[in-house]
Chains A and B, each alone.
Chain A
Amino acid sequence: MRYLPLSDEDRAQMLAVIGAKSIDDLYVDVPREAVLKAPVALPAHQSEMEVERLMKPLASCNIPAGKTAFFLGAGAYRHHVPASVDHLIQRSEFLTTYTPYQPEIAQGTLQALYEFQTQVALLLDMEVANASMYDGSTGLHEAAMMASRVTKRSRVVLSGGVHPHYAETVRTACEAHGLEIVTLPAAIDDEAAVLRAMDANTAAVIVQSPNVFGTITDLKPIVAGANAAGALMIASFTEAMAFGLIEPPGAMGADIVVGEGQSIGNALNFGGPYVGLFATKEKYLRQSPGRLAGETVDADGKRGFVLTLSTREQHIRREKATSNICTNSGLCTLAWTIHMTLLGAEGLKRVATLNHENACDLADALAEVPGVEVLTPRFFNEFAIRLPKRADIVLDALMGKGIVGGVPFSRLNPREGLENVLLVCATETNTPEDLNAYAAALKDILQ
């Protein structure tokens, strides 16, 4: 019991001070029949060594991305994270502290959040950003609800390029809240359909760019259309690294920008924890969800930071809060901001360019394979290809050659009959050998 400091002697002494005969006396309010007489039927305590012996084999039955030629994106991205990031976030003072409710002894967390908010706002070219959401998908449902509060309307239109899991997350939470969610059919590029789908009760249109097929969309016409219809334009994304190279949504006039920040500072982690980035215009701030760090001064006039505008939040406003969210993604936020600080504008541009070049080279190489068509017209580091047969079958065959070749679109959305479409991603972590091996293997398989 290495984590429990009390000795039996301590326990006896403490019970005596309390005036209780046994620990059972302290559980008097528990209905007697509900008290377990013995430990539940699970294994007993084990040493570090024994636990490692159990956990390590579980880890080794998986094939980690780094052990293969790896081309998966579609919402999570494998990038190189500098060693110092993981070292710094494991410092006790960051790892084992709580929400900074006592700002006098939490300036480290608060200042890091303030820097994070600034970096997110600069990256997305938005006026303000919050201290993060759980992830991109839950941030998106919060954005949809926020748009409904701002516009006092209840219909939300989702482009067919929104990641299907994001669309399902939005539908699940928002329909319960009474919103009507209209998801357009899957489409590589559906600007016209989005514009057509707006009506007088539309609170927001949600367009993901780069979208799930990798397509980059010019958001300006959609912003214009949405604003003319009295709706907000919500720009969504799953690959934050893209904004090192492509025009950010804020520069195109988006009202809310929300997406996944995992690709900066955070490992793949089989889907979580990740970090949702959330930014908006100042005029909508009071309707926005999530924590905010703000600048102020202390009693001596020194600059410092506090959590602020918390009257929007559940612990004060209860059922009238802008969200039920009670945490942010603290440590993932810290990893993001440290990685971004290490990159700076120069590093970000360079790594983003490497991503794009690798993806372009891969697209060129795959397009050379007979029967393969690259579907995505404009992209950052991922794109869709159409294969002459089912993508899941091709993926299996590629696995046999040590290549994890992509995500079959039908895994994300089995309803659209796009069984032959494969979503492919290349990042700076892919070598030229990886790219060549992929094209050669695919050629082999399709012959």
Chain B
Amino acid sequence: MVAIRITGVTKSFGEVPVLRGIDLEIGHSEFVVFVGPSGCGKSTLLRVIAGLEQATSGDIHFDDRRITDVAPAKRGVAMVFQSYALYPHMTVAENMTMSLRLAGVPKPERRRRAEEVAKMLQLTPLLDRKPAALSGGQRQRVAIGRAIVRQPDVFLFDEPLSNLDAALRVETRVGITKLHRTLGNTMIYVTHDQVEAMTMADRIVILDQGRVAQVGTPLELYRRPANAFVAGFLGSPKMNFIKADEISRSGSSIRLKLASGSDIEVNAAATDKVALFGIRPEHLTVANEGPIAGTVAAVEHLGSETLIYVETSADTLIVKAGENATTQPGDRVNLRPEPNAIHLFAADGRSVAGAPNH
């Protein structure tokens, strides 16, 4: 259980910068999720923390210990790989206790530790099998078991669920969260799946093009995104964005002309000139009157909710409605945004007024 301090870490592969200056603090026993689109640098950052990649510049501390140049095995980290990286020629028990074998722990003790961890992960009957004889979910648990056996200070997970089917993914997600509560270790988890990020994290670090876009608890990020990238990345379906021009401003009210053709009055104290209007699908309603007009292009009934795709003169907007929505494709509709849930962004994407009351 250590706290991690990352200061000014950059990483380039040849001429290509992948991390462009990361500053980050991760607390004791915290579960932090790195999330972002592919190529944002999240896996590279994890690998720099593990020591599998050398940072081009910057420093990493575990508590007060500078580990920037420490060998991976001496950092006290264990990693669960996306591919699980189980050694195919060794049994489950041998796989799990490889680190102990390399550390010279005698065989009976290794076996005892393997059995202890196997019990925790329901792997006991599989201890003497080879990985080829296991299902995907079982292999995944062996990979986690291998990490637990090492009793590391920090657990690193590199997209560990992406090779599992949807049902198993949810189950394992819950399992990992429970594991974090039981062990209380510091855990860093990399994923491109914002649902995993939202459900598992104490804090989420959103990365974009090698920089930290925003750090915060899942709900903070969801409710008060620092920029249009974060706003668009978290939430499913993603936030609707409409280009907007400021017409006038008076006190705490701004009048905007939306690209879809109509004007709207927003109660917000924007700090800068507004260029983009953002509203989440769940905060748009189909109404008789509203500032945005369009034609329904498609309707998706998902059971508990309905997604309505509305084509306006500028963009296609998504509305998340209740399960009983009766709208049909081809209907002319008006959309009304919930006034308290509007996000406004400047031309460079910075949030200039979040949805303060939401």
A and B co-occur in one complex = no
Binding site for A on B (CB under 8 A): none
Binding site for B on A (CB under 8 A): none
